[in-house]
Chains A and B, each alone.
Chain A
């Protein structure tokens, strides 16, 4: 981890953040390379947003070193603020203003000259397909449109790095796919580094590299393919009449651990499922009710590393307040 590389646009070393004795971020170290899509993957409350907030100068750190574009996060906040674009987890648009006005205010704050600002507003709106609605109040926008406008706004001042904190949270699956399409399109058309977080496993597959984060620690960091390769082959899920006996048998013939899965199923990993399954069914001492095989996903990687699945936990008070505020802001 000690490689001093000029291509590193973000360097985080031994970062710790404590809230009243609680370690939200627990000694993490990682780097983000220029022009890559870097993903933070982990359940709610893992420390993703806290880390992002520290990197983008919104939160102070307890200890550790963070540099971004060569600027120190503790000492050169304004330099950092100039080179980052931010799309927050919670909507931060002013919904009583139009899309153009939201962009205009943003541009003023970044000191973009008026004429340039006008051109760029058109350009970014075009990119996220909102040109036709640019003069509508944001309160008339759908969730997906708001998110697209926020992405456009984050790009307005041509940042070197764009942060996307849970960009698809609270959107329906179809809209979520569209948002990712925009992000991929953006990556193709501009030289920009993208740092995103998500707790939707499938969505982070577009990243060049992923850090899996849990309870404030990075527990794995690699390309999606390499992460999936850590799983020993294909995932097999079986529903049988007698799990205990079957588990013992599988352990004997494959040598791999067998886990209990949802709804009375058991799951395990084998190298080559297509030749394994016919042989297995023929020789099984127990009647098999159903069997399926699939390629490993990042969800399996997380399950393998932590023994838990990433899933929505009960909404905390803060989350429920957040939902209420969203409701309120719609009016």
Chain B
């Protein structure tokens, strides 16, 4: 048991060390949210006045938790998916011949990716004063908890996919046909309760919708923007995480 815990810790620690050594990645992590928030977001917000109606300011506030969520989504997903090439060409291959169970490897990988995603999300959260969104200490810690949970959910999805696909090409396909739709239909960029029916239905089976909803509930504390009660968001996210991590462990442990 102790040996397995050390195994989980080792896999986790390696991801964290790699992360903080990768300065370009940390700096780059500022770029995307800034682009979305202050270029795309501000652009869309100002178009409200062109087409009539106000609410530009409100839109930016609405979008902010979505951008935090986006950061968590992409970071966590790509961290987990790195198993694909790491197993074939990298360090993970080495880990696979050590006496550590596959389960520990999967758990370590999920925790590692989630921790990094949480750190990246926190960096974006620091932009909140620019939008005049008040973040108290209580809110801050709640958001961190939600971010970690969302990151775990996304990481388990990544692990499951990484265990079934074997090539970089398939990885591109997944990014375009799964990750982007998941992001667009999560309510991160626009409200989902007023869109077309099919979009609404898809958003209900998209785990990320619940993550974004939870994040928005905690950050903005505005009941009119809330889709589901917070407890429901948490239950959905936690259930998906548990089920998919079991599935992911099973798939990953299969031998060719």
What's the Cα separation between A101 and B13 when bound, in Å?
11
Are B14 and A94 in contact (CB-based, < 8 A)? Answer: yes
What's the Cα separation between A85 and B90 when bound, in Å?
16
Min CB–CB distance A310 → chain B (angstroms):
25
Q: Which of A58, A93, A108, A326 contacts B91 (CB 8 A)?
A: A93
Are A97 and B14 in contact (CB-based, < 8 A)? Answer: yes
**Count class of interface residues, chain B:** 20 to 34
What's the Cα separation between A146 and B157 when bound, in Å?
34
Specify which of B13, B85, B98 lies most central, judged by the most chain A CB atoms within 10 Å of its CB.
B98
Interface string of B223-256 (1 = CB under 8 A from A): 0000000000000000000000000000000011
Closest to A17 in B: B256
Are A81 and B168 in contact (CB-based, < 8 A)? Answer: no
12 CB contacts below 8 A, A to B, read A84-B97, A86-B94, A92-B92, A92-B93, A92-B94, A94-B14, A106-B94, A109-B10, A109-B95, A109-B99, A110-B99, A111-B99
Q: How many residues of A contact B (CB 8 A)?
A: 32
Residues on B with C-beta less than 8 A from A109 are: 6-7, 10, 95, 98-100
- Report the stretch among B15-23, B47-55, B113-121, B195-203 that lies at the interface: B15-23
Q: Which of B6, B96, B256 contacts A60 (CB 8 A)?
A: B256
Closest to A85 in B: B97
Min CB–CB distance B242 → chain A (angstroms):
26
Interface string of A24-51 (1 = CB under 8 A from B): 0000000000000000000000000000
User: CB of A68 within 8 A of chain B?
Assistant: no
Residues on B with C-beta less than 8 A from A105 are: 10, 13-14
User: CB of A88 within 8 A of chain B?
Assistant: yes
What's the Cα separation between A326 and B97 when bound, in Å?
21
User: CB of B204 within 8 A of chain A?
Assistant: no
Are B91 and A92 in contact (CB-based, < 8 A)? Answer: yes
Are A56 and B97 in contact (CB-based, < 8 A)? Answer: yes
Min CB–CB distance B174 → chain A (angstroms):
17
Residues on B with C-beta less than 8 A from A86 are: 94, 97
User: CB of A325 within 8 A of chain B?
Assistant: yes
Specify which of A56, A78, A109 lies most central, judged by the most chain B CB atoms within 10 Å of its CB.
A109
> In residues 80-95 of chain B, which contact A (Cβ within 8 Å)?
85, 88-95
Min CB–CB distance B195 → chain A (angstroms):
40
Are A326 and B89 in contact (CB-based, < 8 A)? Answer: yes
User: CB of A82 within 8 A of chain B?
Assistant: yes
What's the Cα separation between A91 and B91 when bound, in Å?
8
Residues on A with C-beta less than 8 A from B89 are: 90-92, 322, 325-326, 329
User: CB of B57 within 8 A of chain A?
Assistant: no
